[in-house]
Structure 1
Amino acid sequence: MTTRRSLLLATGACLAAPAVARADAVSAYPDRPVKIIVPAPPGGQSDITMRLVAEGMRESFTQPFVIENRGGASGAIGMDYAGKQPADGYTLLVAVAGGLVVNPLFDNRVPFGPMDFAPVSQFGLSTNCLFVRAGLPVTNLQELVRYAKERPGELTYASIGNGTISHIYTELFANTAGIKLLHVPFRGGSAAVQEVIAGRVDLMIIDFTTGDQPMREGLLRGLAVTGTRRWPFSPEIPTFQEQQVPLTLIGWNGLFAPKGTPRPILQRLSDAANTVVRDPANLDRFLKIGLIPSGTTPEAFEAVIRADTEQWREAVAMSGAKPE
């Protein structure tokens, strides 16, 4: 009996050891630098937003948060990489609705789905704007539609990649308005908007981070914004909906971890991120990069993603856009 009891106790201790080690690792988190993957080139909305949030999150932890840009394939390269890292909280991902939800719905070759990551916090809602080159002889959406109908297939539009929100938005607009546009995809918003500014591409739908300053300098003209409300810093630009085009879907930006990351780590990260996002002192900083700040619990963010997946599934089908 003594021998059997000893064996049972020893077995129990062996089984308990990994659980104790995991609990210790969670309580000590983070005890080394945390890497955050931005699946886009530097300078875009995701990159600027994450640097702002990471700067504030450092005040809640003793370890630094290091940004690593891994762009390509409409964000799929960086996202796929992040999703395959250990679920220990030391590799995180900033993602947008276009990359996490829209792209997998658009192209079934994308190696992940909307629910393949653990949501941490939604940073904010992203209003997009239809910008046209300054030389295009149109001043509102109705004039653009008439101009395009007179030149079927001649007008070109830029996107930040095949299957991104900028691609789906524009195809949805074109189909709804009954016009034909020629798609010119780019790797990132900065490169795309520069081609519109240069006059080599006619228009694009993109967030205000990239298009706002050129618009204020007279290099671009804003004709319509997505969602149901006008953008606070550009109230003169009406929504698509106000101009009889029901483009009300809106994007978002948020933080994720590999699926399986311990719940206490997700909550600690969410609390730290939300402290930054909800700080009234940061409101103007978020608005200037095209985000209406929100800040959510992991559970609330998951509910948003599930609901958005169904809405974007219908939008992708209605747009008629196809993988190339």
Structure 2
Amino acid sequence: MPSLKRHFLKTTTGLLAGLLLAGVASAQGFPTKPVTLMIPYPAGGLSDNIARRVNVPLGAALGQPAIVDNLGGGSGSIGAQKVLNAPSDGYMVFQGSPNELILAPLAISAIKYKPESFRQIHRIALAPMAIFVRPGFPAKTADELAAHAAKVAKEGKPMTYASVGVGSFYHLLGAKMSKDLGVEMTHVPYKGGADAQRDLFTDLVDIFITPYGPAQVELVKQGKMRALAVLTPARQRLMPEVPSTTESKALKTFTAEIGTGYFVKRDTPEPVVQALHQALQKTLGDTQLRAGLFAMGQETSPLQTLAEADQAYKAEISAYQAIAKSINLQAQ
């Protein structure tokens, strides 16, 4: 009997070792089929535009096509959850930001995943942000906006601000502005930036604080909306005529920017993560991509090691959770 037990243990151990080696070998051969880039917003927005500039050079670097898949809703959490529901094999990569992975779980009680469930492979870009207002909005400057917000709040008709969903970074910025100004403002959430812009164009919502690029600049030129102020400490190259919030009195300290990165499930095999990381680093060196991101108003990310990318993400988790706490964000 002992010999049978030893034989069983030896056989089982051998099978497990064989399966492990097979898994490692499979991971090291990654990728052998197309890789999906999960974009958690509808087509046509800034996130989608970034993905459609990245996917071609990334596919070339991987040796397999990189396919863009748009799935909006739930402040980006629906797309994020789809990645978590997929196998941990690297064939579904999430393109996102603190919006979807850190803030959405803090704001939406139905979301059960945690930011730590994801691992950042590499940041791709940093985006400047601006306060855009509807065409008929009476304020022309940040200080006039503050005065208008106080006036309508006193009249019982609070100023409205759009976001891409409850708990999104844009929601937090609007809530923070409301707190900084000491006046009530009403949050109006949308599924994506394109939907928010549509209602801004038709005077259905007052302001939309969002990243921007040439598409938004063109909409401003067409008179569909106005750029009131940028949230960077200095004026920006795409809209040099638009002042920074730091030039105002009421919103002098109201600044922000947001990054876009690529994430996988944290338990994705290390050889797969390394392959994706190397491909993204190669992609960041593509001159057409860099020119395209630059034209969109995006600042291309410097190269990061895997450790640096992961540490940066962990730092963002702490920072954004602190912002959410400061405005008393409650899950709904």
Q: TM-score, normalised by structure 1?
A: 0.91
Q: Secondary structure at the match of 2:162?
A: strand
Who is 1:262 aligned against?
269
| Partner AA of 2:191 in structure 1 | R
1:203-242 mapped onto 2 (5 Å cutoff): 203-209=207-213, 211-242=216-247
Who is 1:178 aligned against?
182
Who is 1:134 aligned against?
135
Q: 1:189 aligns with which of 176, 187, 193?
A: 193
Measured after TM superposition, the shift of residue 140 of structure 1 is 0.9
Rounded to whole Å, the distance in 1 between the matches of 2:314 and 2:72 is 25
Rounded to whole Å, the distance in 2 between the matches of 1:115 and 1:264 is 20
1:300 aligns with 2:305: no
Greater mean deviation of Cα atoms: 28-37 or 139-148: 28-37
Q: 1:161 aligns with which of 160, 165, 188?
A: 165
1:14-37 alpha-carbon deviations (Å, 9 max, x no partner): 232112201220221111122221
Rounded to whole Å, the distance in 1 between the matches of 2:169 and 2:50 is 18
| Partner AA of 1:250 in structure 2 | E
Measured after TM superposition, the shift of residue 126 of structure 1 is 1.9
Who is 1:82 aligned against?
83
Consecutive unaligned residues of structure 2, counting only runs of 5 or more, are: none
Who is 1:44 aligned against?
45
| Partner AA of 1:233 in structure 2 | L
Q: Secondary structure at the match of 2:61?
A: coil
Measured after TM superposition, the shift of residue 280 of structure 1 is 4.1
Structure-2 change in CA distance of 1:238 and 1:296 (3 Å): farther
Contact 1:80 1:111 in 2 (8 A): no
Q: TM-score, normalised by structure 2?
A: 0.89
1:315 aligns with 2:323: yes
Q: Secondary structure at the match of 1:150?
A: helix
1:250-280 alpha-carbon deviations (Å, 9 max, x no partner): 2111111122111221122122122222434
1:109-124 mapped onto 2 (5 Å cutoff): 109-124=110-125
Rounded to whole Å, the distance in 1 between the matches of 2:281 and 2:30 is 18
Rounded to whole Å, the distance in 2 between the matches of 1:11 and 1:136 is 72
Contact 1:172 1:320 in 2 (8 A): no
Structure-2 change in CA distance of 1:6 and 1:113 (3 Å): closer
Q: 1:202 aligns with which of 203, 206, 210?
A: 206
Q: Secondary structure at the match of 1:139?
A: coil
Q: How high is the sequence identity, in percent, across the aligned residues?
A: 26
Measured after TM superposition, the shift of residue 293 of structure 1 is 1.1
Q: Secondary structure at the match of 1:187?
A: coil
Q: Secondary structure at the match of 1:200?
A: coil
Q: Secondary structure at the match of 1:151?
A: helix
Q: 1:291 aligns with which of 294, 298, 302?
A: 298
1:207-250 alpha-carbon deviations (Å, 9 max, x no partner): 10463221122222112222434322112323333424323342
| Partner AA of 1:155 in structure 2 | M
Contact 2:134 2:205 in 1 (8 A): yes
Superposed CA RMSD in Å reads 2.4
Measured after TM superposition, the shift of residue 194 of structure 1 is 1.2
| Partner AA of 2:52 in structure 1 | R
Structure-2 change in CA distance of 1:123 and 1:60 (3 Å): same
| Partner AA of 2:238 in structure 1 | F
| Partner AA of 1:200 in structure 2 | L
Structure-2 change in CA distance of 1:310 and 1:108 (3 Å): farther
Structure-2 change in CA distance of 1:271 and 1:242 (3 Å): farther
| Partner AA of 2:240 in structure 1 | P
Contact 2:149 2:183 in 1 (8 A): yes
1:148-200 alpha-carbon deviations (Å, 9 max, x no partner): 21111432221111111111111101210122222221111111111111112
Structure-2 change in CA distance of 1:16 and 1:231 (3 Å): same
Aligned length: 324
Rounded to whole Å, the distance in 2 between the matches of 1:178 and 1:235 is 29
| Partner AA of 2:309 in structure 1 | F
Rounded to whole Å, the distance in 2 between the matches of 1:8 and 1:184 is 61
Structure-2 change in CA distance of 1:178 and 1:312 (3 Å): same
